[in-house]
Amino acid sequence: MDKYQLVTFVQRRIANPVIRSALLRGVPLPGFALLETTGRKSGQPRRVPVGEGLDGDVFWIVAEHGRRSAYVRNIEANPRVRVRVRGRWRSGTAHVLADDNPRERQRKLGQLRLSARLNAAAVRSLGTDLLTIRIDLDA
């Protein structure tokens, strides 16, 4: 089992279900938000925990596994998303930024709050192909 397989197994089967459930129940988990995309095949809502990357009216995500992540492929098929951040759902349009430097983006987000620095460290250590996603939130 390679790093990608191990990390995705643990996330899909253990970490993400627990974090997703807590966030949907309104339990505040510092450093986490919930991203809702539309399944590219099913058309059904798909919700996945992500690092809390709110910066004004923009929400930033650094995807650990780049385009191997299902939510990134969902965004590429339909960029309209919702983010549940700080207990509130916000709609927006996501953009995959292949030319952005994900490590520099994490550094900038880390200047905003400690939880972003902790999330960035986990993403860097567990990730296999970092990719930046920018979500322009609706007013």
Runs of H (alpha helix) within the chain: 3-10, 16-24, 70-77, 102-110, 114-126
Give the mean pLDDT of 62-84.
Answer: 95
The predicted pLDDT at position 112 comes to: 63
Of residues 109 and 101, more confidence is placed in 101
pLDDT digits (tens, 9 = 90+) for 2-36: 877 887 887 788 888 999 999 999 998 888 999 99
pLDDT digits (tens, 9 = 90+) for 27-62: 988 889 999 999 999 999 999 999 989 999 999 999
Given the candidates 3.40.50.300, 2.30.110.10, 1.20.120.1760, 3.40.50.880, the CATH classification of the domain at 3-137 is 2.30.110.10
Q: Look at residue 90 and tell me whether its pLDDT is greater than 70.
A: yes
Using 50, 70 and 90 to split pLDDT, how confident is the model at 122?
confident
**What pLDDT is recorded for position 116?**
66
Q: What is the number of other CB atoms lying within 10 angstroms of the CB of residue 95?
A: 14
pTM of the shown model: 0.86
Cα(92)–Cα(116) distance, integer angstroms: 21
Domain residue limits, the chain: 3-137
